Amino acid sequence: MQFKLNVRRYDPEAENPAPYWRAYEVDVPENASVLDCLIHVREYVDGTLAVRCSCRSAICGSCMMRVNGQARLACITKAKDMQELDEVITVEPGGNMPVLKDLIVDMDVFWNKIRQVKPWLEPVQPVPEREYLVPNETILDLTVAMNCIMCGACVSDCTSLEVDKNFIGPAALAKAYRFVDDPRDEDRQERLEELSGDGGVYDCTHCFFCVEVCPKGVAPMERIVDIRERAQGAGVTNNAGARHAVAFEDIIRDSGILDEPMLLLRSIGMNPAEQVKNLPGGIRLLRAGKLPLASGPFHHKIPGHGNVKRLFEKVETSQ
Amino acid sequence: MKYAFFPGCVSRGACPELMQSLTAVADHIGMELELMETASCTGAGVISERNRKLADALNARNFALAEQTGLPLMNICSTCQGVMSGVNERLKAQPAYLAEINEMLADEGLSYSGKAEPRNFMWVLVEDFGLDNLRSMVKRPLGELNVAPFYGCYISRPTDVLGYQDFPERGRYLEMIIEACGATPVDYSGKKCCGFPIITMNRTNSLTMAGNHVGEAQEKGADFMVTPCPLCHLNLDAQQPDAARVVSTPLNLPILHLSQLIGMALGIDDKDLGLNRHVVSTNPVRERVHALPMA
């Protein structure tokens, strides 16, 4: 079957290195993967094309790249499926990491972030004579995070990393969750405090790209929400993210509907610099007739808001 | 065509023009809305980080309230849609968990069967009302206008939770509606994040995201942007002057709610669409639209 590919190329050793696009047409079996197509190009059409791959079975994670604008493992992405979406299959290197050559990115950025979260157990003392005994139900929850094959798809398409390289990022935070919730780890509180700080879990913007592109169902954003929940549960609440969540919960408990001005005030807290930054926005909303004036004690509640409050109590009692 | 109408919080808070324009459009196209006054906030993906079960219970209660009306559930916010779809999937997959939550709802005389299918106005418009019907009602085709579609994350991903398998074109509905209104969709990165969820936590990152998207749309010739998400609207419109400073780019792009775009094409009066309640003035768009001939 014929497939048309448009591949983003880059050769750092060229006279004037700059990315460019090169079109290829390949004739391969109908069930060929995008990786099969690229290997065909490299073997029979253009030997200078640089592609990284190893297992070809979605285990090693080396062939992560953007196909039709989204991070995928090229080895399990059928060319036919991609051609159905777009007549020409677009192939680019993964995002948010420097390109070394053609479709190969420098994974140092990725690994440095993984190292940043101390991806090892700090054993609870005293260390038992033989192995730690861990109940199944405790560890089952972690198996999702353990499925990560470190392909970097989530990092490639993370919108927070796109604007801020300081963000720890989805892969490393999912890895961190794996240790936060491991009963054999002694550093839980310290980890939760660090992960709630600069570049941590509250810089995730809930864009769901990592959930969408992860080929192993790790759903890093959900693991980030897990860390936020564990951190707030452990009393790590002196930050804007936790203040926002606590205020949000309180407001809905009380009235069933959001009180936006109050949420903003409580999220910012007693931080004059942040208050000043937010003031012009408030004035603009007011002038446009958009700022709800019925805030705080005057905030309107939904009819029967007592039922919502009782539901909060029931859920909390059940836990 | 009648729906249990879940308005969410922001259409009754900082985006009153959304409620106003949606009501005007619904009246115009014969869509009856039964306002779910006693429904609560979905938790907007925030309450789940305090307590997932609580967020699930709040949404189960809202689904049960919709079921009591016997009507399909419609929301008008991408974030509400995403949260509702996510919770619904969890509840449907775990009957014992749903039964436990139903026990908590029993005092209020509520029970959720697990069969609700919450849908955003954008989906309802395409899937129930139909684009042919919309086209036939357009009184003022918005020819010559270039419109940048901005979806919002919660209605774009994860696609398996949002029913894209059964409705693969849900990722193109905004473009399809823009075309049905006679305008031209702008091709740019309109499915990325507006940055709103982190505006109080990392203002610079949040405004960089908003500024980049508005800047890209503007550069690609957009006359305005349209979104089905009031939270995106807040960051893209109300924060636009600050976002312009952060990305060091002059920005002046009006941001319209989906119902305002449709309302203009249907020939609904500007004052019924709340077009004056914007931070970035919509006057340039209104002037262009009023200069267009009626069909």
pLDDT in tens, B209-238: 999 999 999 999 999 999 999 999 999 999
Chain A residue at shortest CA distance from B41 = A257
Among A205, A259, A274, beta carbon nearest to B197: A205
The more confidently predicted of residues A128 and B109 is B109
Query: Could you say which of 3.40.50.11810, 3.30.420.40, 3.40.50.300, 3.40.1710.10 is the CATH number of the domain covering B131-290?
Result: 3.40.50.11810
The whole-number pLDDT of residue B190 equals: 82
**Which residues on A lie below 8 Å from B241 (Cβ)?**
280, 284
Minimum distance, in Å, between the CA of residue B137 and any CA atom of chain A: 30
Inform me whether the pLDDT recorded for B22 exceeds 90: yes
Least Cα distance to A207 among B82, B293, B66 occurs for B82
**Which residues on B lie below 8 Å from A225 (Cβ)?**
45, 48-49
Mutate to test the interface with B, among A157, A204, A206, A274 (most CBs of B within 10 A): A206
Contacting residues for A301 by C-beta, under 8 A, at least 6 apart: A254, A255, A256, A257
Domains of chain A: 2-105 (3.10.20.30), 108-233 (1.10.1060.10), 240-318 (no CATH)
Among A205, A206, A311, beta carbon nearest to B104: A311
Least Cα distance to B209 among B191, B221, B226, B222 occurs for B191
Mean pLDDT per 10-residue run, chain A (319 residues)? 97 95 98 98 97 97 97 98 92 98 97 97 90 87 94 98 98 97 94 98 98 98 97 96 97 95 89 85 89 79 96 96
Give the model confidence (pLDDT) of B58-103 as tens digits. 999 999 999 999 999 999 999 999 999 999 999 999 999 999 999 9
| Residues, chain A | 319
Q: Do A303 and B37 touch (CB under 8 A)?
A: yes
Contacting residues for B290 by C-beta, under 8 A, at least 6 apart: none
**CA B272 from chain center: how many Å?**
18
Give the model confidence (pLDDT) of A30-66 as tens digits. 999 999 999 999 999 999 999 999 999 999 999 999 9
Least Cα distance to B84 among B102, B110, B108, B66 occurs for B66
Mean pLDDT, to the nearest integer, of B199-208?
A: 96
The whole-number pLDDT of residue B78 equals: 96
Scanning B141-237, the segments in alpha helix (DSSP H) are: 173-180, 203-219, 230-233
Among A163, A264, A281, beta carbon nearest to B208: A163
Give the model confidence (pLDDT) of B146-180 as tens digits. 999 999 999 999 999 999 999 999 999 999 999 99
**Which residues on B lie below 8 Å from A215 (Cβ)?**
none
Q: What is the CATH number of domain B2-120?
A: 1.20.1050.140
The whole-number pLDDT of residue A268 equals: 87
Among A206, A264, A284, beta carbon nearest to B153: A206
**Which residues on A lie below 8 Å from B100 (Cβ)?**
318
Sole residue written with tokens 């002694």? A186
Q: What is the value of pTM for the model shown?
A: 0.95
The whole-number pLDDT of residue A275 equals: 84
Mutate to test the interface with A, among B49, B104, B196, B242 (most CBs of A within 10 A): B49
Query: Is the CB of residue B60 less than 8 Å from the CB of residue B39?
Result: no
Confidence of residue B208 (pLDDT cuts 50, 70, 90): very high
The whole-number pLDDT of residue B60 equals: 98
Least Cα distance to B257 among B135, B77, B125, B36 occurs for B77
The edge-to-edge listing of strands for the beta sheet with A2-9 is A20-27, A2-9, A88-92, A64-67, A70-73
Among A291, A303, A318, beta carbon nearest to B38: A303
Judge residue B95's burial from the number of C-beta atoms within 10 Å of its C-beta, 0-12 exposed, 13-18 middle, 19 or more buried.
exposed
Distance between CA atoms of residues B237 and B234, nearest Å:
5
ipTM of this complex prediction, to 2 decimal places: 0.95
Minimum distance, in Å, between the CA of residue A46 and any CA atom of chain B: 31
* Mean pLDDT of all residues belonging to chain B: 97
Among B13, B57, B157, beta carbon nearest to A258: B13
Distance between CA atoms of residues A262 and A288, nearest Å:
19
Q: What's the one-letter identity of residue B197? A: P
Minimum distance, in Å, between the CA of residue B72 and any CA atom of chain A: 21
Six token digits for residue A49: 């094309």
The whole-number pLDDT of residue A250 equals: 97
Give the model confidence (pLDDT) of A74-99 as tens digits. 999 999 999 988 899 999 999 999 99
CB neighbourhood size of B205 (10 A): 24
Query: Is the CB of residue B69 less than 8 Å from the CB of residue B34?
Result: yes
Domain boundaries, chain B: 2-120, 131-290
Chain B residue at shortest CA distance from A263 = B200
Distance between CA atoms of residues A52 and A74, nearest Å:
10
Q: Do B193 and A207 touch (CB under 8 A)?
A: yes
